[in-house]
């Protein structure tokens, strides 16, 4: 009988106390932007390259012109600011025309047209490009590039970079390089490729598992974690000559290296004291400062573009979530509250967003992004297991690995999740990094 009365009494007292103290708790302010900004890519046509010399050209030269045009078209199509308008053969048959003039391109929807003229002075290929306003029927920009014929791919990328710069003011990314880990049997070696996956070449030959490659800001070195001497330790490889050297060695693991924007420091995870904590090392592998000191697992550091802050993931709240701290380890604050699992953050070079991996309730891994103020949480992928996101040097694209088509391969997309492209086709590719 006593318990029948005392139990409700105790419950009442507890409720009373809880409500009294809850008044002093902070109310978390939540904003949800109403996005009214409407982005429309500009429609651009890229006409077939025409030979303007006065000599006969070989079949090989004709093929080079064709391939170079495809490179320029592919680059323009990759660019998030533009959408490629393709020549419509049905339109040409319908109107019984053999080539498309400016009016035809305008009717196909193109705002601008890129015209390409080729010459072959000696062993070189010279491309003159012109940008035309299809509505005004006039040229408003032009340029010329010349390279050895064997470098037609680089030439095409250069022309595309100039076109993008003319129209956007931004430096094109078509001559940038990517690095990734690729499975070869039971090991993983690092491979280098152009931004579009072409020109793949093996960067390391250590015969071990190498992961988490990241370019130094100057692009001449790649830092990575390797198991080549047992425990995972920090190494670097010189990109031009492929020479591998050890950067740091500590008991336990060294993982998730992130080079500071000035190129003089490396944030990484050390477990030398038994728990994963974030440290900052100098380029010789000496500890400059320990940044985190918590019983939870702190990992995946990433620098802000100004080098003043570091984002990382930690399960200190019970589940992996993203946090931001000053680069001296102070002022730690939680960034993500949505999603029960957010990991592997990477800070955009534009400074405005952080991309990361989100695990949904169904167990699928997706690429997500969030504003650095903690707003505008977006899931960017929908199919397969998507991991290891990394930003392009201009912060407008994200490279990541995915199993959406079966084997794990490297994909890219723009920061809104559009225009997703597959770069590798061999399978077993992961941990991509993007350099200048």
Partner 1 sequence: MTRDVLLSLLLHLVIVTATVISAPFDINRKLTYDEVIQVSLTSLSEIAPTKPEPVSIPEMLPEEWAEIPIESPSTAKEAIVKPKEKTHKPRTKKTNLPATEGEKKEIEAPATGSGSRFQGATIDNVSFDYPYWFTEAFRKIEGNFYNPVVYDGTLVCVVYFQVIRSGRIVESRVEASSGVPAFDNACLQAIERSAPFPPLPREFRDEIIGITVPFKNR
Q: What is the contact surface with partner 1 in residues (CB under 8 A)?
A: 1-2, 5-6, 9, 13, 16-17, 20, 23-24, 26-27, 29-40, 42, 81, 111-112, 131, 133, 135-136, 140-141, 165-170, 352
Strand partners, 397: 414
| CA separation for the pair 250, 120 (Å, rounded) | 57
| 24 vs 363 by CB, closer to partner 1 | 24
Q: How far is CA 392 from CA 82, 173, 232, 266, 299, in A?
A: 17, 8, 26, 19, 22
| 18 vs 93 by CB, closer to partner 1 | 18
| 170 vs 326 by CB, closer to partner 1 | 170
Minimum separation from the CB atom of position 2 to partner 1 (A)? 6
Q: What is the DSSP string of 350-414?
A: TSSEEEEEEE-TTS-EEEEEEETTS---EE---SS-EEEEEE-TTSSEEEEEE-TTSS-EEEEEE
| Structure tokens belonging to residue 199 | 């020109």
| 143 vs 217 by CB, closer to partner 1 | 143
| CA separation for the pair 149, 175 (Å, rounded) | 17
Minimum separation from the CB atom of position 204 to partner 1 (A)? 36
Closest of 124, 164, 123 to residue 143, by C-alpha: 164
| Structure tokens belonging to residue 157 | 């990328």
Minimum separation from the CB atom of position 29 to partner 1 (A)? 5
| Structure tokens belonging to residue 168 | 């956007």
Minimum separation from the CB atom of position 41 to partner 1 (A)? 8
| 5 vs 330 by CB, closer to partner 1 | 5
Minimum separation from the CB atom of position 361 to partner 1 (A)? 20
| 112 vs 180 by CB, closer to partner 1 | 112
Minimum separation from the CB atom of position 6 to partner 1 (A)? 8
4, burial (CB in 10 Å: exposed 0-12, middle 13-18, buried 19+) = exposed
| 112 vs 312 by CB, closer to partner 1 | 112
Stretch (H or E) spanning 11:
helix 2-22
| 15 vs 405 by CB, closer to partner 1 | 15
Minimum separation from the CB atom of position 32 to partner 1 (A)? 6
Pairing label, strands 244-248, 233-238: antiparallel
Minimum separation from the CB atom of position 101 to partner 1 (A)? 19
254 contact partners, CB below 8 Å, separation of at least 6: 225, 232, 233, 234, 248, 268, 269, 270
| Structure tokens belonging to residue 419 | 């225009």
| Structure tokens belonging to residue 271 | 């477990």
């Amino acid at each position: 009988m006593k318990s029948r009365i005392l139990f409700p009494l105790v419950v009442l007292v507890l409720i009373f106390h809880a409500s009294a103290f809850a008044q002093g708790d902070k109310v978390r302010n939540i904003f949800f932007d109403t996005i009214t900004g409407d982005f429309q890519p500009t429609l651009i046509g890229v006409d077939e390259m025409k030979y303007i010399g006065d000599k006969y050209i070989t079949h090989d030269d004709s093929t080079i012109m064709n391939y170079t045009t495809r490179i320029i078209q592919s680059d323009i199509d990759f660019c998030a600011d533009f959408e490629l308008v393709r020549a419509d053969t049905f339109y040409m048959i319908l109107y019984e025309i053999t080539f498309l003039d400016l009016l035809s391109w305008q009717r196909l929807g193109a705002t601008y047209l890129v015209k390409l003229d080729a010459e072959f002075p000696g062993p070189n290929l010279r491309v003159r490009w012109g940008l035309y306003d299809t509505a005004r029927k006039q040229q408003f920009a032009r340029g010329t590039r010349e390279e050895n014929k064997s470098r037609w791919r680089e030439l095409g990328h250069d022309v595309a970079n100039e076109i993008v710069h003319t129209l956007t003011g931004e430096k094109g990314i078509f001559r940038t390089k990517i690095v990734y880990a690729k499975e070869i049997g039971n090991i993983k070696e690092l491979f280098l490729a152009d931004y579009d996956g072409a020109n793949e070449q093996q960067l390391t030959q250590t015969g071990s598992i190498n992961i988490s490659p990241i370019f130094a800001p100057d692009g001449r070195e790649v830092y990575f974690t390797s198991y080549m001497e047992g425990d995972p330790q920090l190494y670097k490889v010189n990109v031009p000559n492929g020479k591998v050297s050890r950067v740091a060695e500590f008991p336990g693991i060294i993982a998730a290296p992130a080079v500071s924007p000035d190129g003089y420091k490396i944030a990484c995870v050390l477990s030398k004291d038994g728990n994963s904590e974030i440290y900052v090392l100098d380029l010789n592998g000496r500890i400059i400062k320990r940044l985190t000191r918590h019983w939870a697992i702190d990992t995946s550091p990433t620098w802000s573009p100004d080098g003043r802050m570091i984002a990382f993931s930690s399960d200190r709240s019970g589940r992996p979530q993203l946090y931001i701290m000053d680069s001296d380890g102070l002022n730690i604050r939680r960034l993500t509250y949505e999603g029960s699992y957010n990991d592997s953050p990477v800070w955009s070079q534009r400074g405005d967003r952080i991309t990361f991996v989100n695990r949904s309730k169904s167990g699928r891994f997706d690429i997500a992004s969030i504003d650095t103020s903690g707003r505008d949480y977006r899931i960017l992928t929908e199919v397969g297991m998507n991991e290891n996101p990394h930003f392009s040097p201009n912060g407008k694209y994200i490279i990541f690995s995915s199993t959406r088509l079966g084997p794990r391969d490297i994909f890219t997309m723009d920061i809104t999740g559009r225009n997703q492209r597959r770069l590798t086709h061999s399978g077993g590719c992961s941990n991509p990094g993007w350099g200048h």
